[in-house]
């Protein structure tokens, strides 16, 4: 099974969660190849051998980031990049693949808004379904203490476990 994990990360937290998910997927074995890329370097169209596409980004204003929310993050000290392309724009321009992969989406969000509606993961799920990217099999949120982090204790372990679950799910393999 080949997996492509595409992430958008402004403070490094979403990237760290994505890398932990990739470790979990790879640990299941069977020679699974997991490629982790920043959304700015994500392929379009998808390579034909991708069986699992994992998409992750931060929740900004109850959804996926927009150019304005990315500029706001940068003005607050976030890592440079993503000025033009976030997961929203990448998904919007991604053509439906010939062979539909299983799709999983995740986000990072501030603990204090845990119970508020809206999530980048759920928005990415809807966009993937709308663009017929593949069957969405899982959606998950991971938590940071503040916009800049750090991640809540145990989130990297939870991300690795979620990756193992994704890789062993019978609908994906």
| pLDDT tens column, 10-24 | 999 999 999 999 999
Predicted model pTM: 0.93
Instruction: Write out the residue range of the structural domain in which residue 50 sits.
Output: 10-168
Residue 53 lies in a domain: yes
Q: What percent of the chain has pLDDT over 90?
A: 68
> In Å, how far are 20, 45, 73, 93, 116 from 17, measured between CA atoms?
5, 24, 19, 24, 21
The CATH number assigned to the domain holding 35 equals 3.40.50.360
Q: How many domains does the chain have?
A: 1
| pLDDT tens column, 101-124 | 999 999 999 988 766 778 999 999
| pLDDT tens column, 36-61 | 999 999 999 999 999 999 999 999 88
Tokens of 53: 């596409």
Residue 3 lies in a domain: no
Residue 5 lies in a domain: no
Tokens of 20: 């932990």
Residue 2 lies in a domain: no
Instruction: Say how many C-beta atoms besides its own lie within 10 A of residue 172's C-beta.
Output: 20
Residue 148: pLDDT over 90: no
Residue 1 lies in a domain: no
Residue 139 lies in a domain: yes
Residue 173 lies in a domain: no
- Per DSSP, the three-state class of 135 is strand
Residue 48 lies in a domain: yes
């Amino acid at each position: 099974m080949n997996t492509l994990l595409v992430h958008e990360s402004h403070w490094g937290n979403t990237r760290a969660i994505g890398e932990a998910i990739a470790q979990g997927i790879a640990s299941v074995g069977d020679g699974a190849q997991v490629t982790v890329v920043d959304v700015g370097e994500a392929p379009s169209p998808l390579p034909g051998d991708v069986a699992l596409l994992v998409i992750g980004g931060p929740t900004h204003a109850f959804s996926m980031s927009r150019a304005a929310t990315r500029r706001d993050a940068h003005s607050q000290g976030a890592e440079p990049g993503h000025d033009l392309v976030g997961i929203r724009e990448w998904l919007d321009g991604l053509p439906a693949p010939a062979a539909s992969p299983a799709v999983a989406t995740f986000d990072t969000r501030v603990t204090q808004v845990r119970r508020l509606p809206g999530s980048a993961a759920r928005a990415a799920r809807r966009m993937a379904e709308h663009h017929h990217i593949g069957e969405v099999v899982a959606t998950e949120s991971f938590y940071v203490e503040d916009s800049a982090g750090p991640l809540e204790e145990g989130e990297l372990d939870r991300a690795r476990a979620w990756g193992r679950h994704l890789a062993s799910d019978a609908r994906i393999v």
